[in-house]
Structure 1
Amino acid sequence: MTFYDLQQMLKKFGTIIYTGTRIGDLDLMEEELKELYRLGIIDPDVYRDGLLVVKNERQAEISKNNVQK
């Protein structure tokens, strides 16, 4: 699963996230994933893959921000 795939999956459930900051977007995506999983709407594999995407994207964003400073 890619970041784009995750966005498209959330969009299918009516969730469009844009906070203006990448980290903010990732935080909200993680919360939406947790809620969809808790409600039994997505299966464990999709949940796991989504969380991995969020984690990897968050780490990349943190690394990018540290390099720019």
Structure 2
Amino acid sequence: MRTLYDVQQLLKKFGIIVYIGDRLADLELMELELRELYQARVLENREYETAMLIIRQEKRLEKEKRNRG
């Protein structure tokens, strides 16, 4: 897993498709869904951590993009 698309495909395996229309809100919801899957012991620790790192990086980039313009 390397990209946000990979995280979306992981969520899709569990029937979770996230699209609110606001990228930052989408990322927040993906983060919540991943946390729920991890707490339900459906995701392995490494898979969860990797997905969360990707989402946090995307959130940081989105916030920087919004601050610039």
Q: TM-score surpassing 0.5? A: yes
Q: Distance in 2 between matches of 1:60 and 1:15?
A: 23
Give SS of 1:42's match. coil
Q: Percent identity?
A: 44
Deviation of the 1:29 alpha carbon: 0.3
Q: Write the deviation string for residues 7-60 of structure 1: whole angstroms up to 9, x where unpaired.
A: 001001000000010010001000010000000000000110011011000000
TM-score (norm 1): 0.96
Q: Which amino acid aligns with 1:43?
A: E
Structure 2 partner of 1:2: 3
Q: Which runs of 5+ in 2 are unaligned?
A: none
TM-score (norm 2): 0.96
1:67 aligns with 2:40: no
Q: CA RMSD in A?
A: 0.5
Segments of 4+ in structure 1 off by > 4 A? none
Q: Distance in 2 between matches of 1:27 and 1:38?
A: 17
Q: Distance in 1 between matches of 2:7 and 2:16?
A: 11
Pairing of 1:1-69 with structure 2 (within 5 A) = 1-68=2-69
